[in-house]
Amino acid sequence: MKVSDIYGSKSFRSQNKKSLSFEIYPPKKDSSLKNIDETLAVLCELKPDYISVTFGAGGSANCSRTIELARKIKYEYHVEPVVHLTCLHYDKAEIDAFIKALHAEGIQNILALRGDRRADLLEKQDFKHASDLITYLKQKGDFCLLGACYPECHLESDNRVSEIKYIKEKVNAGAEVLLSQLFFDNEMFFRFLEDCRIAEVNVPVIPGIIPVINASQIKRMVTTCGATVPERFRKIIDKYENNREALFDAGMAYALSQIIDLLVSDIEGIHLYTMNNPLVARKICEGIRNII
């Protein structure tokens, strides 16, 4: 099943349904894939519409772990997987090999990404932008292609105008759904979505939410993606960063407040960054079970 079919279905639109999706990442060691079943059992029990699987840069091991985990999700847990695919450190032949593996497994959904620049990896010349990858994949099979978007602009963007222009290029190239980078201020997302609609970017734009349960981890991620930290959110981190249990409760409450605000504002769904923590997903779903 294609993710785009979920949002395009008559029942989804007529009943004002909301999608629920999760992101997980493959364990670093192949042997650890056996231990991810506990996480998947909980996540799939929550009946997500799809689960995205992250993808590292450089090396066939990243490909195999991503595909193996996606295959497990699809055929053992009967949930549709979305595989991440980066392109900055790969050439066309390497991308073709990945595509061949996806065809063999019957996997139809790809989140097409440029990937982060890394000093330890050579940047290849075939794909400079995610839109280049989307254009290429569109010629290679009947895939549903998703793209990433950044409510507060990608760190390399010059300004909001150039950011929206590039997002429109992704959609024009074939991206049918956009998944957002994490953010902690909903007003940022609402303004971003309004700008997208003004620019006639009319595909579903699904907000990505991450609950705060580890202060140091969140600080690193904020530095990496440039997300704004609202004062209310900063107070939570400052007050509870050395109290693990209190930070978990306060962080979950903050994430729930974000999600509820988004859902009552007619956003089409929620994409939850689980950090492979099934307790986080379960707690969030318990908090919104009657409104999604």
- Catalytically active residues, by annotation: 23
Across-strand partners of 180? 149
Using alpha carbons only, how large is the chain's radius of gyration in Å?
18
Q: Are 211 and 252 in contact (CB under 8 A)?
A: yes
Q: Are 277 and 213 in contact (CB under 8 A)?
A: yes
Across-strand partners of 147? 112, 178
Helix (H) / strand (E) element for 175: namely: none
Q: Which stretches of the chain are DSSP H helices?
A: 3-8, 10-14, 37-45, 60-75, 92-105, 130-138, 160-173, 186-198, 215-225, 231-240, 244-264, 278-288
DSSP state of 106: T
CA–centroid distance for 280 within its chain: 16
Determine the angle formed by the axes of helices 160-173 and 186-198, rounding to 10 degrees.
60
State the CB neighbour count (10 A cutoff) for residue 141.
12
Helix/strand/coil (H/E/C) assignment for every residue in 227-286: CCCCHHHHHHHHHHCCCHHHHHHHHHHHHHHHHHHHHHCCCCEEEEECCCCHHHHHHHHH
Q: Phi and psi of 255, rounded to 5°?
A: -60, -40
Q: Phi and psi of 23, rounded to 5°?
A: -115, 135
